Chain A
Amino acid sequence: DVKVTQSSRYLVKRTGEKVFLECVQDMDHENMFWYRQDPGLGLRLIYFSYDVKMKEKGDIPEGYSVSREKKERFSLILESASTNQTSMYLCATEGSTTDTQYFGPGTRLTVL
């Protein structure tokens, strides 16, 4: 079974803080994704990575950066958190020869 873990289920931060969200997968998948999910807006792609040190912007990259130093780990960084970044953050992985994305449990981030 694919296992995708995220560093926190719930996180509360203050405006202006630097926030790190980490995602780890154990299936040797090449592709990893960060989405955010908001009521009425569905899933929106922030960034994805198709290999170590490779990254591509998704639909809403502003205010975020990512890091992929190891294949199994993909980090999302909020350089200076703002209240409009309060959301559910979802990490997903996908192998290059499979068609299925597997999601982590999600991190519900609240920025005060």
Chain B
Amino acid sequence: DAKTTQPPSMDCAEGRAANLPCNHSTISGNEYVYWYRQIHSQGPQYIIHGLKNNETNEMASLIITEDRKSSTLILPHATLRDTAVYYCIVRVATDNAGNMLTFGGGTRLMVKP
């Protein structure tokens, strides 16, 4: 799986959009971009994933650049409960082999009142 680079920490004001960047310059054509987050002392929570098109769900939007070398996770209206560590991962689409997830350092997002 390709390596990702994220800033170690970011702050965001409550109610504002949080834009979390991720670089994955060595991504392969069959690798998806996944985002998870982990709130302190809880299990990781799946947020969103995409291959090359932008994606949106009830939690967030994922913007992937045309060359797929970077992406941005957008939380449109951050709340205090969005304070967490956010992990960007790239991984191959399933091959039924039960591929393990590998989390890097992630970005610690602090949402402030």
- Chain A: interface size category: 20 to 34
Question: Using an 8 Å CB-CB cutoff, how does the interface string of B24-41 with A read, 1 for contact, 0 for none?
Answer: 000000001010000001
Cβ A106 vs Cβ B100 within 8 A: no
- Closest residue of chain B to A105 (Cβ to Cβ) is B43
Cβ contact of A104, chosen from B41, B43, B102, B104, cutoff 8 A:
B43
On whether A101 and B103 interact (CB within 8 A), knowing A50-B98, A56-B98, A96-B96, the answer reads no
Chain A residues packing against B (C-beta within 8 Å) = 4, 6, 30-31, 33, 35, 42-43, 45, 48-50, 56, 58-59, 88, 90-92, 94, 96-106, 108
User: What residues make up the interface of B, taking CB atoms closer than 8 Å to A?
Assistant: 32, 34, 41-46, 49, 91, 93-94, 96-98, 100-104
* Extra contacts besides A43-B103, A99-B49 (5): CB < 8 Å: A42-B102, A42-B104, A99-B91, A101-B101, A104-B43
